[in-house]
Amino acid sequence: MTMKESRNLDGVMAAVNAAHSIALVSHVSPDGDTIGSVLALQQGFVQLGKHVRVFCQDRVPEYLRFLTGAEHYCQPQEVGADERFDLLMYVDISDETRMGDCRALEKQAARIAQLDHHDTNEGFCQENCVDPTAPACALLAYDLLGRLGCDITPEIAICLAVALSTDTAHLVYNSTTPEAFRVMGELVEAGAPIAKVYRRLYRERPPRQMALLTRALHTLTYHQEGQITSMMLTWQDFADCGALTEDAEFIANYGMDIQGACMSVFARENEHGGVKLSLRSVHPWQVSGVATRFGGGGHPTASGATVALPLEEAVRQVVAAMKEELEKCE
């Protein structure tokens, strides 16, 4: 049985078919997978005659605003007190903490469903399609749209190509499956300009992002003879560079570009306190367990968490936890 054949979408499909009004929700600090998947679903559901609204606690990152429908994202406080949804669907959200303020929308929804691919997801909705074998939520969204009979327009194809590329680093991560390659090929056939997608996601950087990267690299530190790396940014770094919090999202992967690195942590201060942690590793080492210890979660080789600790102390504790994980594999 293939991974796609073992994916249970029946409950989610039934919920979508039965609904007229649908709210789609992206996770906090949104990335390409959650935004691209939501926008693809939104366009597909509209084809089915549904009334669809899209929500996120945080704004859509600048590099994703070219996607069709990105301008329609709302924050949950923009919903009227008397507005009701037949279905609320979380997309690419591993746990309740990743909902942010959008969790308040549950009070105005008759049914709650989700599409997700994180192995730390415990199935917190009434209808759950959680497939940890899928390297991106985009594959679940594509599968769902196909089963519902939606037309994959060029606009939908671009959204899904961005989503799939984001969580697989353009189909090069160890988690990338044959299904991912097949689907990307089908998206290109449907009109997704793959070269444009690649440049948008990985090659074009505004000056403020390069300034932020320079500061992060100045903090690059090696631990355990280079098996673990760490980088950090203060909130003052963001202010000095004229950068937004979203401008730092791409920096996390640089810690794993060091030869011999098995795990990395990128920590940055939030504007109103706390530290956001981005954890990375290469197979067979895993960081999802480390993230869970700090109240977060994610994928085995790419996870995150937010902690209420001073910046340097947060890095110290995470590095210590990573050392323990390394010892388990020895």
Strand partners of residue 128: 114
Strand partners of residue 20: none
Residue type, 258: I
Contact 138, 117 (CB under 8 A): no
| Structural domains counted in the chain | 2
Strand partners of residue 275: 269, 307
Residue type, 170: H
**Do 60 and 140 have their domain in common?**
yes
Exposure string over 278-317, b if 16+ CB within 10 A, otherwise e: bbbbeeebbbbbbbeebebbbbbbbbbbbbebebeebbeb
CATH of the domain at 294: 3.10.310.30
pLDDT at 4: 55
Q: Is the previous residue joined to 207 through a cis bond, with omega within 30 degrees of 0? A: no
**Do 138 and 60 have their domain in common?**
yes
**Do 156 and 222 have their domain in common?**
no
Tell me the residue range of the domain where 70 lies. 3-202
**Do 303 and 324 have their domain in common?**
yes
Residue type, 117: H
CA dist 202 and 225 (Å) reads 30
Return the structure tokens found at 286.
């895993």
Q: Which of 160, 187, 202 is the last residue of a domain?
A: 202
Per residue in 269-293, pLDDT (tens digit) is 998 889 999 999 998 999 999 999 9
Contact 41, 35 (CB under 8 A): no
State whether residue 73 is helix, strand or coil.
coil
**Do 20 and 123 have their domain in common?**
yes
Q: What one-character DSSP code corresponds to residue 106?
A: G
Residue type, 164: L
pLDDT at 1: 32
**Do 132 and 26 have their domain in common?**
yes
**Do 54 and 161 have their domain in common?**
yes
pLDDT at 230: 98
- Across the chain, which has 330 residues, the per-10-residue mean pLDDT values are 64 98 96 97 98 97 95 95 96 93 96 94 94 96 98 98 94 92 98 92 92 98 97 97 92 95 97 92 93 91 94 98 88
Return the structure tokens found at 283.
């197979």
Strand partners of residue 233: 268
pLDDT at 120: 85
- φ/ψ of residue 74, rounded to 5: -125, 160
CATH of the domain at 99: 3.90.1640.10
Q: Which of 161, 179, 202 is the last residue of a domain?
A: 202
168-177 long-range contacts, CB within 8 A, separation 24+: 168/135, 168/136, 169/253, 170/198, 170/201, 170/202, 173/135, 173/301, 174/282, 174/283, 174/301, 175/135, 175/299, 175/301, 176/135, 177/3, 177/133, 177/134, 177/135
CA dist 246 and 26 (Å) reads 15
Return the structure tokens found at 33.
């997978």
Q: Where are the beta strands (DSSP E) in 26-152?
A: 51-55, 87-91, 112-116, 127-130
**Do 213 and 292 have their domain in common?**
yes
pLDDT at 12: 97
**Do 151 and 221 have their domain in common?**
no
279 Cβ partners below 8 Å, 6+ apart? Answer: 263, 264, 265, 287, 290, 291, 298, 302, 303, 304, 305, 318, 322
Q: Which of 202, 233, 258 is the last residue of a domain?
A: 202
**Do 216 and 193 have their domain in common?**
no
**Do 188 and 229 have their domain in common?**
no
**Do 21 and 136 have their domain in common?**
yes
